[in-house]
Amino acid sequence: MAVKLDKKDILKALETITVPGEGGNMVETGAVRNIQVFGDEVVVDVQIGNPTLQARKKTEVSILKAIHDLVYPKAKITVNVKVDAPAQPQKKVPEIKGKPIPGIQNIIAVASGKGGVGKSTVTANLAVTLAKMGFRVGLLDADIYGPSMPIMFDVVDEKPRAVEVDGKSKMKPVENHGVKLLSIGFFTQPDQAVIWRGPMASKALNQMIFDADWGELDFLMVDLPPGTGDIHLSIMQALPVTGAVVVSTPQQIALADARKGVAMFRQEAISVPVLGILENMAYFTPEELPDHKYYIFGQHGARNLAADQDIPFLGEIPLVQGIREAADVGRPAALQEGTPSEAAFLEATRNMVSELVQRNEYLPPTEAIKITTMAGCSAVKNKRV
């Protein structure tokens, strides 16, 4: 004769069992989720918070013993123990972000994965273009091992002066072409190699950042060295960088390194918005053939990289002899009005500022309105060519 078990008797038996590590009986605490009875067969579903194998096994044995001892010794029992351990809090990745610097509204890092792509030349021309547009601009030459800004701004023989600010002695940046400038090149001889380890280079950078009287700036442009190393991390840690611009030539070798530069800014600990990619030395146009473009280093490589990475393409800077000559004599090509070089840098700068505005980053309201209403302001749409 088949035995029919009573669910109430089983619940009463389970009340004698304490939940491992929690206290309170199994029924009162809600650990028993379901009981099914089929004649002399019993299925018990239990949920506990202790994830150890020992706790699971103890729970199962206790249920079997309780039902056999208190209800029916020959009952066929199936116990399903589910563990509902509390979710472990995710470890927060420490964010590498400097504290805001009073008086400086936007800090733009200009980077390149590879050396020799014209990053410093581009930075200098973006800075003077911003100054021409009416912004207050500073430029930090963070390329410790290869400072070139003193030459590009024709201030090789200048030295920062010491001034007193709030009772503290600070460096007064050298100024030319409407841009305030600090560089390690001001403190070394032209033929002197800077042979410093990372910590010493980082200390020098911190002095130029925090021991300087930058005053009120709308933009501080930071010319980073090539690659992704100590200096880059030091800058990200010391400065609250608003956004980054990555410079590359169309050449595949340069683009491979530019991709790494984008990845660096996108790392969770750094998380700096990439405002766009700018293609330098995009094409060559001879003076005698103004309608011809020769793509010496490849065609549209940086534009396609921007599309692949889903970031704005800021524009193309042509390979023009005058840009190199202007940098060598300390008068950036963007100052030469009416030239293709000036037009190219103006478009790139407008696109960079437009991207900042669209991202709701802070800009002086009147200047933001002025820039966004300029013709040709919108960043080039990502489109693979």
Q: Which domains does the chain have, with CATH numbers?
A: 7-83 (3.30.300.130), 104-372 (3.40.50.300)
Find the radius of gyration of the CA atoms of the chain.
Answer: 33
Q: Residues comprising the binding site?
A: 113-120
Helix (H, G, I), strand (E, B) or coil at 154: coil
pLDDT tens per residue, range 245-258:
999 888 888 888 88
Q: Which of 23-27, 210-214, 296-300 has the lowest mean pLDDT?
A: 23-27
Q: Indicate yes or no: pTM above 0.85.
A: no
- Average pLDDT estimate for 170-196: 82
Whether 68 contacts 35, CB under 8 Å:
no
Q: What is the rounded CA–CA span in Å between residue 258 and residue 93?
A: 25
The C-alpha angle 143, 147, 152, rounded to 5 degrees, equals 125
Q: Which residues pair with 76 in a beta bridge?
A: 41
End-to-end CA distance of the chain: 83
Edge-to-edge strands, sheet with 41-48: 32-38, 41-48, 76-83
Q: Which residues pair with 25 in a beta bridge?
A: 18
Helix (H, G, I), strand (E, B) or coil at 206: helix
Q: Tell me what pLDDT residue 379 has.
A: 46
Q: In the numeric block, which tokens belong to residue 357?
A: 């505005």
Sign of CA dihedral 262, 266, 272, 274: positive
Q: Tell me what pLDDT residue 9 has.
A: 86
384 or 301: which leads in pLDDT: 301
Q: In the numeric block, which tokens belong to residue 325?
A: 């000559």
Q: What is the rounded CA–CA span in Å between residue 208 and residue 257?
A: 28
Q: Read off the DSSP letter of residue 162.
A: E
Q: Which residues pair with 183 in a beta bridge?
A: 141
pLDDT tens per residue, range 270-279:
788 899 999 9
Q: What is the rounded CA–CA span in Å between residue 247 and residue 364?
A: 26
233 or 157: which leads in pLDDT: 157
pLDDT tens per residue, range 339-371:
888 999 999 999 999 888 887 655 555 555 555
H-only helix segments in 15-160? 53-70, 119-132, 149-152
What's the Cα-to-Cα distance from 188 to each of 142, 145, 158, rounded to whole Å?
Answer: 14, 11, 12
DSSP string, 292-325: --B-TT-SSHHHHHHHHHT--EEEEE---HHHHH
- Is the model's pLDDT at 185 over the cut of 70? yes
Q: What is the rounded CA–CA span in Å between residue 349 and residue 377?
A: 9
Q: Residues comprising the binding site for ATP?
A: 113-120
Q: What is the rounded CA–CA span in Å between residue 313 and residue 301?
A: 11
Q: Tell me what pLDDT residue 14 has.
A: 87
Q: What is the rounded CA–CA span in Å between residue 264 and residue 255?
A: 14
39 φ/ψ angles, rounded to the nearest 5 degrees: 65, -115
Helix (H, G, I), strand (E, B) or coil at 254: helix
Whether 151 contacts 240, CB under 8 Å:
no
